[in-house]
Structure 1
Amino acid sequence: MSLSQPGFGARLAEAYRAYGQLCVGIDPHPGLLTAWGLNDDAAGLREFGRRIITAAAGRAAAVKPQVAFFESCGLGGMAALADIIAEAKQAGLLVIADAKRGDIGSTMAAYAEAWLNPQNDFGADALTVSPYLGFGSLAPAVEAAQRYRGGLFVLALTSNPEGQQVQLARREQEVAPGASSASTVAGHIASQVQQINTARPAPDGAAVGETAVGETALGDIGLVVGATTAPLASSSGIDLTAGRPALLAPGYGAQGATAAQLRSGFGSAWPQVLVNSSRAILEQGPEVADLIRAIEASQAELR
């Protein structure tokens, strides 16, 4: 890692221009491993990941390993994950570690170091994090992302229905006039991300997220907004374009959201969206050629 390299937002913007807005999930569900003729062990996980990387390289912007499936296989599973992250980066893919880490103080700093330091075994380009111990608890992760030119995707409006109980809860604190987006928990999270992306410079003095997708810029600190819950942002007064966060959108394909629904739901924020597809693509395996066809079909629909 060089401090002269662009930040995550800039790298993601470049990947959008080159490969489109698709992210392929690496989710080795035990049932999928069985369907692919692979064992639910380190060797099976490694082979599963390698086939997806082969299919996605040069065709998708990013891959997103779901960390839990590797953790469940113990030391061997985590060793397989380290290999997959390294191989994906070597293949030119951005890697988002879907670990949803959230803690405070030195513990959060240790999580960020583990997942964002490119010299570490699990060093990814970006990490999913949870702000529900208070957004300020993410400060060590934000600092690590800036130090290592990495990115964060902060859980905001997730696709699970029960998430709305917390995410759309009204905040008791007085909200300044015109700041309606901060009146809900998710709106407050979005406003905090906006402040980081617009106010904090990258280490070399360049603007955070400098490099455009079309006429827009992407910040290094992004949000997770489900493909099926994106309309809740506008109906709740949340401006997803403020600060130009990258928007990681799970829920396309097998979970029901179509490309047309994505474009409509995200509206003017659509150019910021990284669309994740997992099952809809992975169920077409195990042959790499079939995975490639599924990726290309998704890309065509998203364009």
Structure 2
Amino acid sequence: MSNPTWGELVENNVGRFGDLVAGIDPSLPEIPAFFGQGNEGAAWIGDFVNFILDTIEGHVGFVKFQSAYFEACGLVGLAALSAGMKRAREAGIGVILDAKRGDIGATAAAYARAYLTPASAGGSADFEADCLTVNPLMGPDTLAPFVDCATRFGKGLFVLCRTSNPGAGWLQDKMAGNRLVSDRVADLIGGYGTVPDSASRLASVGAVIGATAPNEGRRLRQLLPRTIILAPGLGAQGGDPASIHSLRGDIPGDLLVPVSRGLSRVEDRGISASDYRQLIISRIEAFKAAIAYDYAGRRTRLA
């Protein structure tokens, strides 16, 4: 039996668990102190990833690994990233690798092989994701290898379109010819179709549009009716549920909402393991309730 495409995985997991994405951004100063006890160097990071996956399994359908935090911990961090991605995918959790890659020709193809190509097709599978974030700044030709690979193997992409950071408007809200830069990127994203033979109604190439820019988000959603939007910014960056709902389309699964520090960060680093686990679960349920949506038009709480 073949693996589901990214769109099929999204529709299935959103139907089961809702559209919350648990972000894993390992930063030792922001998590309980017990992770660092008895560990040397960056050895804590593997324990943290396993703890988070143990905790979220059965509560969320997606996890987003922020590659930079793992890379910052060297080989130990990369080993933890690889193991965590494999474990999550084996559990049926949709894995988004937030690496924001983008480069010319052969280099982009190498990135696509690293993150989107199964071992059976020549990839190493060490960092195989279900979906990858990519940067379009260098132009459409730099996206082509990623799109080709995603189409071939049923993977997904999230292309940076209108991001959540305070300085996003410096370029993304500027005019290029007679169009805003973000609109031109949205046109590019919307031009990519679904994966051939996929049962999903959702396109495999999605957009990163921050929940912190609801006005821009509403405009861009009109250009992207069948696109999955990844909407960072809820919680720590100031996005709210009303902003989130402005990014929704008409298809369940067309919006995924990542929360990272809002789930894992603690003020009291002396918290116990059992209390920390319960804290994460309670935060998950609170975020799911806040963003739950009935696509017939009614807000609802998930059962």
Interval of TM-score (by shorter of Structure 1 and Structure 2): 0.7 to 0.9
Q: Which runs of 5+ in 2 are unaligned?
A: 120-124, 293-303
Query: Match of 2:247?
Result: 266
In 2, Cα distance between equivalents of 1:185 and 1:41? 43
Match of 1:160 among 156, 165, 171: 165
Q: Is the 8 A contact 2:22 2:63 kept in 1?
A: yes
Query: Match of 2:154?
Result: 149
SS of equivalent to 1:256: coil
In 1, Cα distance between equivalents of 2:94 and 2:40? 25
Pairing 1:188–2:184 present: yes
Match of 2:205 among 197, 221, 227: 221
Q: Is the 8 A contact 1:219 1:243 kept in 2?
A: no
RMSD: 2.1
Shift of 1:103: 0.3
The 5-angstrom pairing of residues 104-253 of structure 1 reads 104-119=104-119, 120-172=125-177, 183-197=179-193, 202=196, 206=197, 210-211=199-200, 217-234=201-218, 237-240=219-222, 242-253=224-235
Shift of 1:257: 1.7
In 2, Cα distance between equivalents of 1:40 and 1:227? 38
Query: Match of 2:295?
Result: none
Shift of 1:30: 3.0
Q: Is the 8 A contact 1:197 1:245 kept in 2?
A: no
Q: Is the 8 A contact 2:99 2:132 kept in 1?
A: yes
In 1, Cα distance between equivalents of 2:164 and 2:222? 16
Q: Is the 8 A contact 2:226 2:251 kept in 1?
A: no
Farther off after superposition, 98-107 or 289-298: 289-298
In 2, Cα distance between equivalents of 1:76 and 1:267? 38
Give the TM-score normalised by structure 2: 0.85
How many residue pairs get aligned? The number is: 277
Query: Using a 3 Å threshold, how does the CA distance of structure 1 residues 163 and 144 change in structure 2: closer, same or farther?
Result: same
> Cα deviations across residues 251-271 of structure 1 (Å, max 9, x unaligned)?
1122222223311x3254684
**Identity rate of aligned residues, in percent?**
38
Query: Using a 3 Å threshold, how does the CA distance of structure 1 residues 192 and 92 change in structure 2: closer, same or farther?
Result: same
Q: What letter matches 1:258 in structure 2?
A: D
Give the TM-score normalised by structure 1: 0.85
Query: Using a 3 Å threshold, how does the CA distance of structure 1 residues 108 and 240 change in structure 2: closer, same or farther?
Result: farther
Shift of 1:241: 5.6
Q: What letter matches 1:253 in structure 2?
A: G
Q: What letter matches 2:262 in structure 1?
A: A
Farther off after superposition, 254-263 or 69-78: 254-263
Query: Using a 3 Å threshold, how does the CA distance of structure 1 residues 299 and 186 change in structure 2: closer, same or farther?
Result: same
Q: Is the 8 A contact 2:24 2:65 kept in 1?
A: yes
Match of 2:291 among 269, 277, 302: 302
In 1, Cα distance between equivalents of 2:227 and 2:6? 11
Match of 1:289 among 278, 288, 291: 278
In 2, Cα distance between equivalents of 1:240 and 1:224? 15
Q: What letter matches 1:74 in structure 2?
A: G
Q: Is the 8 A contact 2:35 2:47 kept in 1?
A: no
> Cα deviations across residues 18-39 of structure 1 (Å, max 9, x unaligned)?
1100001000123124645425
Query: Using a 3 Å threshold, how does the CA distance of structure 1 residues 94 and 30 change in structure 2: closer, same or farther?
Result: same
Q: What letter matches 2:89 in structure 1?
A: K
Shift of 1:5: 3.0
Pairing 1:12–2:10 present: yes
In 1, Cα distance between equivalents of 2:280 and 2:67? 21
SS of equivalent to 1:197: coil
Q: Is the 8 A contact 1:131 1:138 kept in 2?
A: yes
In 1, Cα distance between equivalents of 2:290 and 2:87? 27
